[in-house]
A and B are shown apart, each in its own frame.
Chain A
Amino acid sequence: MSIDQNKINNEVVTEIQNHFIRGYEAVIGIEVHVQLKTKSKIFCSDSTHFDAADNENTSPVSVGMPGTLPVLNRQVVKMAIKTGLALGCKIQEKSVFARKNYFYPDLSKGYQISQFNQPTCEHGKVYFYVGNSKKIVSITRAHLEEDAGKSTHFGQYTLINYNRAGIPLLEIVSGPDLRSAIEAAEYAKTIRNIVQYLDVCDGNLEEGSLRCDCNVSVRKIGAPKLGTRVEIKNLNSFRFIEKAVDYEIERQIDTLDSGGQIFQETRLYDPDKNRTVVMRTKEDDDDYRYFSDPDLLPLLLRPSDIEKMRAQLPELPLEKLERFKNQFSLPQADCEILTSDRNLADYFESAGKISNNYKSAANWVMGELLRELHQNKIEILKSPIKSEHLAELIQMIDQNKISGKIAKVVFSEMWLTSKTANTIVSEKGYTQVSDSKAIEQIIDAVLLENPTQIADYKSGKTKVFGFFVGAIMKQSKGQANPDIVNKILKQRLESK
């Protein structure tokens, strides 16, 4: 990974201790299929846009017409390198595309082009936090491949849509380093966060642009050998990853404890029943007869080009998190939220920088802004309040132009109208009154109306001070500067 990652490497890393469940240890590895965000497919110029009509994004190449040949998309390679570097992988100077042979109607050529024993990225590492502990997971490899088409079954018919055939995928394979369902889900989130930061994938699990397969096994505590692993395919949410892995760990332990045996097989997770069911056993596993695809020359990369790309890598989520923690003295949990999305982090940093008040910017972003965004299902990039406008609002509070209370009202109006805080405040006359004379007048008027309470105050019931403040603020429509109100009111009451 980049220079900053090396820094993290040298830190003392606290491994989370003890994941033992009922005398067993779970061992989990994950394959994440990342759909790369290119405009065209991996081996031809078909569009990749998601909303196309059935079989609209196809051409003779992607439907495998006789005589057609694949030509590798340059952008795909760039994205793979970027991702590989961000995952701390060694980028191979030579990688090879192979053919994975099997028959299925949605596989138009009868083989899938996929990197096999010479992938572009190998031997990486990623880091993430589970609570306050940092976890390291090794990345065995990340290889490029083409997606297959999609079969939809209707009774006795099956319809095939080849729009997806040839969409570029980067399959990121972790080592068997995860030990719990929570770690598995956190790992998957980390991968999503990284590919989103790199802008190589939109990270949408529901639409299938990120697909996770989990390999789960259990072994008795202290057992040197790994247990038989079961693969759970196509998990399309982080919650399902957690639940499916949890279920599978329990199932395997139940089986072993009752004297049963775990078989190497592929299972599917059924979210409705919260259980995994057998999809296929190892016996039906195909022999894919891999061999180098003679239609594609080996992919050769110049080390200088790889280094150039390394230098262009953006700051990655964990690096950003550490920086936010150190630079802005924000709590770990806040930094995790702020860095969970690159655009959100950028927004926060911009608002903090302009207002010169990072703490306040963090609070506004995590409080009012995220609440509105979530409620209205709006992405941060489309927020009606831009970061510089939020900064302006923060500055107005800091300069005592408006109170914190009024600021929330102003924020709501900014959200609805996209007007700036300044405009709203001046249009509505929300400006905080700090003019002593004006405040004195209000105070005097309030005091005049409430002689009983003055007497109470005099007799030592100082609690009525709050009553006076409330009445004064009400009179001023919330615009009187509370500090000044407090000061003058105190003077007046003392001198009575």
Chain B
Amino acid sequence: MNLLTATFYDISTAVKAKKISAVEVTNFFLTRAEKLNPTLNAFTHFNKNAVIDAQKIDAEIIAGKNLGPLAGVVFGIKDMLCTKGMPTTAGSKILQGFIPPCDATVVARLKNAGAIIIGKLNQDEFAMGSSNETSYYGNCKNPWNIDYVPGGSSGGSASAQSARLTMGTIGTDTGGSIRQPSSFCGIVGIKPTYGRVSRYGIIAYASSLDQAGPMTSTVTDAALALEVICGVDEHDSTTSNKSVDLFSKNLTTNIKGLKIGLIKEFMAGQSDADVEKVFSSALETLKKMGAEIVEVSIPLTEFAVPMYYLISASEASSNLARYDGVKYGYRSEFQNLSSLALDDFYGQTRAEGFGPEVQRRIMLGTYCLSAGFVDAYYNKACQVRRLLKNQYIEAFKKCDVIFSPVTTTPAFKIGEKSEDPLKMYLNDIFTTSTNLAGLAGMSVPFGLSSKNLPIGVQLTSAPFQEQKILNVALALESVSPVEGKTPNVY
């Protein structure tokens, strides 16, 4: 069995049939990850107990216990998700040394389904970034070309999965943080509908936008992992009690008659030639497969990026207030604590603990929520957000799935945009609307640039219609021009 190409289903079936042990699978990926990680810097932490966890799975199989659909499947987890007994930093110095007392619901559900967690993955600090360059733990590299960023904020998840250091990874997506790095690294990534996946135990960046999702090599794997992590959670009152479809069982490449919407406002040549080319070829493919193409208009997407930055920064300024150096994580060293004013204690700890991008957003958000400004900024953005959602609801009356690029360009070079925050923010132009409107979105690879960098295309559905985008993604994957192509670091 080729572990690098085996699907979740292949592995769990083989492990359950004792054709291969969970320990063997775990050791294979651990060895590979430890060997390639110095090049990629995708992992921030390796789970020392991974093999012990795998032994338990094997023992349960021998004991005849009926295990879940991810038995023996090896996962890496973005460092935004709490893992019991394993450091969780959110890519920040301020959470250095923090070991959570419990697992995030997503992690608990993966483990419950038999998955083995081999470690924690690099990311932009508190998920604020599109290149993984804001991580306190160093740049993560794109396996297709290590001079390039893997995207962000789930850069470590994308990089590790792209180089097959894992069988699957979990990322989080607040404004594109699963889809953009998936596109940059040539993997499949899905951001579920807001409320599909529990946020309990996920370090909050922007609570009304955050959502975790799987990042995998195939659409089928994504569907299966999504099935496992979805569903109502009593610890998160924003989760929906809608029943969870068996996404992996319902998958089909038959998209005949399906209505694919193109957003009129996205068309004015915003993307570079490579992206346009991949997008057009994917569109042609969909037409050939019998999909019907319709044009939809969502004028407010023009304001999606500013809306996103106002709302996410505002929520972040409040969510990040708890990192004060009092109970856990980083605390500045003080010579004379007794003569120190409380505000100075907070000030110095936070000034040292948060990186520049995080500080920028905390200040931006604090300003947007301040008396005298809240109506003009935060409240206004929330109002426009509701209108944007309405425009999407209208659009989805005309189509099943909205089709668009993920980003305007393929991965860029490390350092290329890090000096210019506004340029960096425009990376999110095609992705933030999905979060603002609470939709489901995914990225599926469909080509390579002239510089041999992956390019994905984006599929978006109305809330709770993940099956539709998974089906379209599967259809595209079945004829993918990048099938069998591997990155340089592999």
Q: Which of A60, A110, A291, A293 has the most CB of B within 10 A?
A: A291
Which of chain A's residues has its CB closest to B339's CB?
A156
Q: In whole Å, how far is A115's beta carbon from the nearest beta carbon of chain B?
A: 16
Query: Are A156 and B346 within 8 A (Cβ)?
Result: no
Chain A interface mostly: loop
A152 interfacial by beta-carbon distance below 8 Å: no
Chain B residues whose CB sits within 8 angstroms of the CB of A105 once the complex forms: 324, 326, 342
Query: Are B369 and A71 within 8 A (Cβ)?
Result: no
Among B15-23, B198-206, B274-282, B292-300, the stretch in contact with A: B198-206
Query: Are A66 and B90 within 8 A (Cβ)?
Result: yes
Chain A residues whose CB sits within 8 angstroms of the CB of B238 once the complex forms: 69, 294-297
Chain B residues whose CB sits within 8 angstroms of the CB of A69 once the complex forms: 199-200, 235-238
B409 interfacial by beta-carbon distance below 8 Å: no
A289 interfacial by beta-carbon distance below 8 Å: yes
Query: Are B318 and A291 within 8 A (Cβ)?
Result: yes
Contact with A along B177-216 (1 / 0, CB 8 A): 0000000000000000000000111111011100000000
Report if A287-B235 is in contact (Cβ < 8 Å); known contacts: A63-B327, A110-B322, A294-B315: no
Chain A residues whose CB sits within 8 angstroms of the CB of B204 once the complex forms: 66-67, 295
Q: How far is the CA of A66 from the CA of B203 in the complex (A)?
A: 5
Q: B370-413: which residues lie under 8 A (CB-CB) from chain A?
A: 370-371, 374, 378
Q: B62-119: which residues lie under 8 A (CB-CB) from chain A?
A: 81-82, 88, 90, 95, 98, 100-102, 104
Which of chain A's residues has its CB closest to B236's CB?
A69
Chain A residues whose CB sits within 8 angstroms of the CB of B374 once the complex forms: 289-291
Chain A residues whose CB sits within 8 angstroms of the CB of B326 once the complex forms: 105, 160
Chain A residues whose CB sits within 8 angstroms of the CB of B366 once the complex forms: 289
Q: How far is the CA of A66 from the CA of B329 in the complex (A)?
A: 10
Q: In whole Å, how far is A85's beta carbon from the nearest beta carbon of chain B?
A: 25
Q: How far is the CA of A66 from the CA of B95 in the complex (A)?
A: 9
Contact with B along A275-292 (1 / 0, CB 8 A): 000000000000101110
Query: Are B321 and A67 within 8 A (Cβ)?
Result: no
Query: Are B346 and A65 within 8 A (Cβ)?
Result: no
Which of chain A's residues has its CB closest to B347's CB?
A103
Chain B residues whose CB sits within 8 angstroms of the CB of A293 once the complex forms: 207
Chain B interface mostly: loop
Contact partner of B208 (CB less than 8 A), chosen from A60, A71, A111, A294, is A294
A442 interfacial by beta-carbon distance below 8 Å: no
Q: Which of B199, B234, B320, B321 has the most CB of A within 10 A?
A: B321
B328 interfacial by beta-carbon distance below 8 Å: yes
B422 interfacial by beta-carbon distance below 8 Å: no
Query: Are B100 and A67 within 8 A (Cβ)?
Result: yes
Q: In whole Å, how far is A23's beta carbon from the nearest beta carbon of chain B?
A: 37
Query: Are B318 and A65 within 8 A (Cβ)?
Result: no
Contact with A along B218-251 (1 / 0, CB 8 A): 0000000000000000111110000000000000
Which of chain A's residues has its CB closest to B329's CB?
A66
A-B CB pair tally, cutoff 8 Å = 106
Q: B136-195: which residues lie under 8 A (CB-CB) from chain A?
A: none
A228 interfacial by beta-carbon distance below 8 Å: no
Query: Are B314 and A291 within 8 A (Cβ)?
Result: yes
Q: How far is the CA of A101 from the CA of B368 in the complex (A)?
A: 13
B338 interfacial by beta-carbon distance below 8 Å: yes
Q: In whole Å, how far is A241's beta carbon from the nearest beta carbon of chain B?
A: 31
Query: Are A65 and B100 within 8 A (Cβ)?
Result: yes
Contact partner of B346 (CB less than 8 A), chosen from A60, A103, A289, is A103
Q: In whole Å, how far is B43's beta carbon from the nearest beta carbon of chain A?
A: 20
Query: Are B95 and A110 within 8 A (Cβ)?
Result: no
Which of chain B's residues has its CB closest to A109's CB?
B322
A108 interfacial by beta-carbon distance below 8 Å: yes
Q: Which of B200, B338, B366 has the most CB of A within 10 A?
A: B200
Contact with A along B339-364 (1 / 0, CB 8 A): 00011001000000000000000000
Which of chain B's residues has its CB closest to A287's CB?
B371
Chain B residues whose CB sits within 8 angstroms of the CB of A101 once the complex forms: 317-318, 321, 369
Q: How far is the CA of A287 from the CA of B317 in the complex (A)?
A: 14
A192 interfacial by beta-carbon distance below 8 Å: no
Contact partner of A67 (CB less than 8 A), chosen from B202, B317, B324, B378, is B202
Chain A residues whose CB sits within 8 angstroms of the CB of B371 once the complex forms: 287, 289
Q: How far is the CA of A294 from the CA of B236 in the complex (A)?
A: 11
Query: Are A296 and B98 within 8 A (Cβ)?
Result: no
Chain B residues whose CB sits within 8 angstroms of the CB of A326 once the complex forms: none
Which of chain B's residues has its CB closest to A156's CB?
B338
Q: How far is the CA of A99 from the CA of B338 in the complex (A)?
A: 31
Query: Are A60 and B237 within 8 A (Cβ)?
Result: no
Report if A108-B369 is in contact (Cβ < 8 Å); known contacts: A66-B90, A66-B100, A69-B237: no
B268 interfacial by beta-carbon distance below 8 Å: no
Report if A295-B207 is in contact (Cβ < 8 Å); known contacts: A69-B235, A110-B321, A156-B337: yes
Q: How far is the CA of A472 from the CA of B315 in the complex (A)?
A: 89
Contact partner of B369 (CB less than 8 A), chosen from A63, A109, A291, is A291
Q: In whole Å, how far is B343's beta carbon from the nearest beta carbon of chain A?
A: 8
Query: Are B314 and A66 within 8 A (Cβ)?
Result: no
Chain B residues whose CB sits within 8 angstroms of the CB of A160 once the complex forms: 326
Chain B residues whose CB sits within 8 angstroms of the CB of A103 once the complex forms: 321, 324, 342-343, 346
Q: In whole Å, how far is A124's beta carbon from the nearest beta carbon of chain B?
A: 28
Q: How far is the CA of A268 from the CA of B178 in the complex (A)?
A: 52
Query: Are A68 and B201 within 8 A (Cβ)?
Result: yes
Contact with A along B21-57 (1 / 0, CB 8 A): 0000000000000000000000000000000000000
Q: Which of B101, B322, B338, B343 has the most CB of A within 10 A?
A: B322
Contact with A along B414-444 (1 / 0, CB 8 A): 0000000000000000000000000000000
A64 interfacial by beta-carbon distance below 8 Å: yes
Query: Are A110 and B318 within 8 A (Cβ)?
Result: yes
Q: How far is the CA of A120 from the CA of B440 in the complex (A)?
A: 33
Report if A295-B201 is in contact (Cβ < 8 Å); known contacts: A66-B95, A101-B318, A289-B374: no
Report if A67-B104 is in contact (Cβ < 8 Å); known contacts: A289-B370, A291-B369, A294-B315: yes
Q: How far is the CA of A104 from the CA of B82 in the complex (A)?
A: 25
Q: A316-370: which residues lie under 8 A (CB-CB) from chain B?
A: none
Contact partner of A296 (CB less than 8 A), chosen from B100, B234, B237, B322, is B237
Q: How far is the CA of A287 from the CA of B371 in the complex (A)?
A: 7
Q: In whole Å, how far is B8's beta carbon from the nearest beta carbon of chain A?
A: 26
Chain A residues whose CB sits within 8 angstroms of the CB of B369 once the complex forms: 101, 289-291
Query: Are B327 and A108 within 8 A (Cβ)?
Result: yes
Contact partner of B82 (CB less than 8 A), chosen from A66, A291, A294, is A66
Report if A287-B237 is in contact (Cβ < 8 Å); known contacts: A66-B322, A68-B200: no
27 A-B pairs with CB atoms under 8 Å apart are A64-B327, A66-B98, A66-B100, A66-B323, A67-B81, A67-B201, A69-B199, A71-B234, A71-B236, A101-B369, A103-B346, A104-B342, A105-B342, A108-B327, A109-B321, A110-B320, A111-B321, A160-B326, A289-B317, A289-B366, A291-B314, A294-B206, A294-B238, A295-B204, A296-B237, A296-B238, A297-B238
8 nearest A-B residue pairs (beta carbon): A110-B321, A294-B208, A289-B369, A294-B207, A156-B338, A67-B201, A67-B82, A66-B203
